[in-house]
A and B are shown apart, each in its own frame.
Chain A
Amino acid sequence: MPVYSEKVMDHFQHPRNVGEIENADGVGELGNPTCGDIMKIYIKVKDDKIEDVKFKTFGCGAAIATSSMVTELVKGKTLEEAEKVSNGVVAEALDGLPPVKMHCSNLAADALHLAIEDYRARKAGKGPIGRVETPEHDEDEHDLLEHA
Chain B
Amino acid sequence: MKIINFDHFAATKMRQEVKDAMEPYFIGEYGNPQSIHTLGDEPREAVDKARLKAAELLNAASTEVIFTGSGSEANNLAIKGTAFARMEKGRHIIVSKIEHFSVLNSVKSLAKLGFEFSEVPVDKYGSVDPQDVKNALRKDTVLVSITQASNEIGTIQDIKEISKIVHENSAAYIHTDANTSCGFIETDVKELGVDMLSAAPHRFYGPKGVGLFYLKKGIRIMPLIDGGIQEFGRRAGTENVPAIAGAGVACELAKKELKDRTSHLLPIQKAITDGVLGGLDEVYLNGHPEKRLPNNLNFVVKYIEGESMLMWLNNIGIMVASGSACTSKILKSSHVLNAIGVDPALAQGSLLISLGEDNTLEDAEYFVKELPAVVMKLREMSPLYEEVMKRNKK
Contact = CB atoms under 8 A, between A and B. Distances in A.
A142 B105 contact: yes
B314 A59 contact: no
A104 B333 CA distance: 13
Say what secondary structure dominates the interface of chain A.
Answer: mixed
Contact of B308 (A33, A60, A137): A60
A34 B324 CA distance: 9
Contacts, number: 93
Contacts of B108: 142
Contacts of A145: 101, 105, 330
The size class of the interface chain B forms with chain A is 20 to 34
B382 interface: yes
Given A12-B311, A58-B305, A18 B324 contact: no
Interface in B106-139: 108-109
Contact of B348 (A12, A36, A56): A36
B314 to A, nearest CB: 6
A63 interface: yes
B325 interface: yes
B383 A104 contact: no
Contacts of B64: none
Contacts of B307: 36, 60-61
Interface in A29-55: 29, 33-40
B331 A57 contact: no
B381 A33 contact: no
A80 interface: no
Interface of A: 1, 12-13, 15, 18, 20, 29, 33-40, 56-64, 100-101, 104-105, 137, 141-142, 144-145, 148
17 contacts: A12-B311, A20-B386, A33-B344, A33-B345, A34-B325, A34-B344, A34-B345, A36-B305, A36-B326, A36-B348, A37-B305, A40-B386, A57-B381, A57-B383, A60-B305, A63-B308, A137-B325
Given A58-B384, A59-B308, A137-B332, 10 more contacts: A1-B314, A29-B383, A36-B305, A38-B383, A40-B386, A58-B303, A58-B305, A58-B348, A63-B305, A100-B329
